[in-house]
Structure formats: structure tokens, C-alpha cells
């Protein structure tokens, strides 16, 4: 078997010749699908917690803020405050749920001890990574879809750039799913995870322009917002609906992509070296 041969083989053969397998080499499709399915099943069996609850929370925000801010001047020409609010809330929920899914799943496996079955499996870092991210994206997509379906009868939402919408969803949901994976690897107990959520995810998502345009902010906060990746995720997502946003869509896509790349690099390093997993 030549050193250079890197072609994935059908896993059903069960035998992999030495020399053609590397941690960073995605070749185990059956393993990947098995794990993805399992991860989806995990949140699917508790939909009340994993989908219904976050949708209701987000809709309550919508109800309260839409009522309180009724009659304010439109944020963008032709876009009412309620219209402005919906995409931001959807993206905020996507961010929080993508993170929650991969982080809590991994931490739970660690605490329950059944992580050992993943560690002993011949899964490479990429299969492991892809399965957790895919499952988190499915949950995020479900939450987003349900929210939009519930909001649509009350709020008219144009879709200006569907491709931008999808891109922003994948980049942002993906980033947070990866961050969740990192948090799950680092956390030794649910306390650590709660700290991660309460001190990083929640503040950053609330201070990201979900409820307002950053142009309405005083100087310091206006500048600070531009260092918050969540701001670009939400702003870019909003662009997909209205064709207008606080920053150009290219900038948002660049920030979200950079975020995803950086987090993926960190996460893959952890998975490949077994950081905090294989001690």
C-alpha cells in the first residue's frame, strides 16, 4: 500500500490497510452517520426542552418588545420594529441552541461515563466533529423554522437574499456548535458549562443588536459591538431578509467565516490530541 494513497474505503470492508489512515481523514461514513443519528435522537427525545422551550422564550421576547416598542420609528426605511426584531431573535435562538446541543451532549456523556464508547471507537476527529456539528445544526434549524412559522401569521417578512440567509445560518450555527464542542471538552461538570453559557454566550448574544440597531448606541458601545462576532451573525442574517443591515453583508460573512475557521482549528486540535478527553 503506497504512502500517498488517501482514498476513503468502504467501511464495510472492516479492514484498513496501514498507512492510509490519519486522524484528520474523514473516511468512516457509517460511524459518522451512526453518531449523527444518535445525537439527533438525543435532543429529539426531549423536544419539549430542546425545541419548544427556546421557541416559547423567544416568542415571549417578541411579544413583550413588540408591544413596548410599538409606534417607534422604523429602524430601516420600510422595516417596522417588529419586523426588525424577528430575524435577530431567530438568530439569537440559533446561536444559543447550537451551543447548548453539542456542549450539553458531550458533558453529559463525560459525566455519565458513556463517552468511553466514543473514545474506543475507530472514529477519526473529523467524523466526531462533523457528527456533533450536524446534529446541533439540525436542532438549530428546527428551532429557527418553528419560530418563523409561528411568527409569520403576525409579522410580514420579506426574503431578500435566501442564499445569504442560509450562509449566515450555517456559518453562525456551525461556529456555535463548534464552540459548544470545545466547551464540552473543557468542562468537567455542568457548573463549568453553565458558567460558559451565563458569562459568555448569553451576554454576547444580548449585546449583539438583537433588540436595536447598533447605530442607536452611544460611541463606546457602538465600537464594542463591532468586536462581538454575534453582532455580525445577527446583522448578516437580518440582511438576508431585508437587504439592508448595519454593516455590509460581506463583512458579516467574513466575520462569521473567520469565527468558524478559528474555532474549528481549536476544536480539531483538541479532538486530534485527545485534549481533556484521552487525558
Partner 1 sequence: MQPIITVSQLTKTYASGFQALKGIDLQIRRGEIFALLGPNGAGKTTLISIICGIVNASGGTVTADGHDIVRDFRAARQKIGLVPQELTTDAFESVWATVNFSRGLFGKPRDPALVEKILRELSLWEKKDSRIMQLSGGMKRRVMIAKALSHEPSILFLDEPSAGVDVELRRTLWSFMSDLHRKGTTVVLTTHYLEEAQDLCERIAIIDKGQVKVIETTQQLLDRQAFRFLRLKLGNGGVLPEALRPLVSEEKNGVTELRLERERHPIAGVFAALRAAGLDIDDVHTREPDLEDIFIELTGRQPAAAAGAAP
Contact residues for partner 1, defined by CB under 8 A: 11-12, 14-19, 21, 23, 27-31, 33-35, 37-38, 45, 112-114, 116-124, 273-274, 278-279
Closest distance of CB 126 from partner 1, Å: 12
Distance from the Cα of residue 44 to its chain's centroid: 17
Closest distance of CB 140 from partner 1, Å: 23
Closest distance of CB 238 from partner 1, Å: 39
38 or 215, CB closer to partner 1?
38
3 or 77, CB closer to partner 1?
3
CB atoms within 10 A of CB 89: 22
31 or 174, CB closer to partner 1?
31
| DSSP structural state of residue 155 | S
Please give the Cα distance from 135 to 46 (Å, whole number). Answer: 14
17 or 56, CB closer to partner 1?
17
Distance from the Cα of residue 130 to its chain's centroid: 13
Please give the Cα distance from 211 to 82 (Å, whole number). Answer: 10
Residues 6+ apart with CB under 8 A from 133: 102, 174, 177, 178, 181
Q: What is the DSSP string of 213-265?
A: -GGGS-HHHHHHHTT-HHHHHHHHHHHHHHS--SS-HHHHHHHHHHHHHHHHH
Closest distance of CB 37 from partner 1, Å: 8
Closest distance of CB 208 from partner 1, Å: 36
Please give the Cα distance from 269 to 273 (Å, whole number). Answer: 6
8 or 248, CB closer to partner 1?
8
Closest distance of CB 30 from partner 1, Å: 5
12 or 67, CB closer to partner 1?
12
The torsion angles phi and psi of 151, rounded to 5 degrees, stand at -75, -30
Amino acid at each position: 500500500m503506497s504512502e500517498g494513497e488517501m482514498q476513503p474505503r468502504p467501511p464495510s470492508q472492516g479492514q484498513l490497510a496501514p498507512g492510509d489512515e490519519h486522524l484528520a481523514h474523514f473516511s468512516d461514513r457509517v460511524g459518522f452517520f451512526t453518531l449523527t443519528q444518535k445525537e439527533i435522537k438525543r435532543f429529539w427525545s426531549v423536544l419539549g426542552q430542546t425545541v419548544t422551550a427556546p421557541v416559547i422564550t423567544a416568542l415571549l421576547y417578541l411579544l413583550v418588545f413588540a408591544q413596548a416598542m410599538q409606534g417607534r420609528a422604523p429602524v430601516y426605511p420600510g422595516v417596522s420594529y417588529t419586523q426588525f426584531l424577528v430575524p435577530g431573535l431567530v438568530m439569537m435562538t440559533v446561536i444559543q441552541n447550537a451551543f447548548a446541543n453539542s456542549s450539553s451532549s458531550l458533558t453529559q456523556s463525560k459525566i455519565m461515563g458513556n463517552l468511553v464508547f466514543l473514545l474506543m471507537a475507530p472514529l477519526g476527529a473529523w467524523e466526531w466533529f462533523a457528527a456533533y456539528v450536524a446534529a446541533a445544526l439540525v436542532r438549530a434549524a428546527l428551532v429557527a423554522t418553528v419560530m418563523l412559522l409561528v411568527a409569520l401569521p403576525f409579522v410580514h417578512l420579506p426574503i431578500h437574499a435566501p442564499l445569504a440567509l442560509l450562509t449566515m445560518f450555517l456559518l453562525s450555527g456551525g461556529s456555535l456548535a463548534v464552540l459548544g464542542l470545545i466547551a464540552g471538552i473543557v468542562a468537567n461538570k455542568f457548573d463549568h458549562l453553565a458558567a460558559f453559557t451565563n458569562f459568555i454566550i448569553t451576554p454576547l448574544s444580548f449585546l449583539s443588536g438583537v433588540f436595536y440597531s447598533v447605530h442607536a448606541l452611544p460611541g463606546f458601545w457602538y465600537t464594542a459591538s463591532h468586536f462581538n462576532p454575534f453582532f455580525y451573525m445577527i446583522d448578516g442574517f437580518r440582511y438576508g431578509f431585508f437587504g439592508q443591515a448595519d454593516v455590509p453583508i460581506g463583512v458579516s460573512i467574513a466575520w462569521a467565516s473567520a469565527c468558524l475557521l478559528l474555532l474549528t482549528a481549536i476544536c480539531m486540535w483538541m479532538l486530534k490530541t485527545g485534549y481533556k478527553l484521552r487525558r
